[in-house]
Amino acid sequence: MRWPSSPNPEAPQEPPALLRKTLSLYGVKSDAEVREIFRVGQTVIAQLQAQQAMAALTGGKPGGMGLMPSGPTTPAAVPGHPGGTPAHGPTGMMQ
């Protein structure tokens, strides 16, 4: 994934002109700020790509859950209620 305007092939670490133009419309004109925003954006993109790669390896489930067997689960037992099911509400009509 790349920014909407691909970077200059002769200077790939430079923020794209479209990013500079967009940020200038929002009042961000400092070269240092533009570079920092570009750097953070590149970091976020790298993290997203890593997550997508992990999801592909784990069958699309987060945190390696794709490697665990699937099937019905039983909710944890609630103290005082057998079987882990919540207590039922009142069954009689109010008088």
> 8-60, pLDDT tens digit by residue?
677 778 999 999 999 999 999 999 999 999 999 999 999 999 999 999 988 76
pLDDT given at position 70:
54
What DSSP state is assigned to residue 68?
S
pLDDT given at position 33:
96
Q: For the chain, which residues make up each domain, given as ranges?
A: 15-64
pLDDT given at position 34:
96
- The mean per-residue pLDDT over the stretch 53-74 comes to 66
How many other C-beta atoms lie within 10 A of the C-beta of residue 7? 18
pLDDT given at position 58:
84
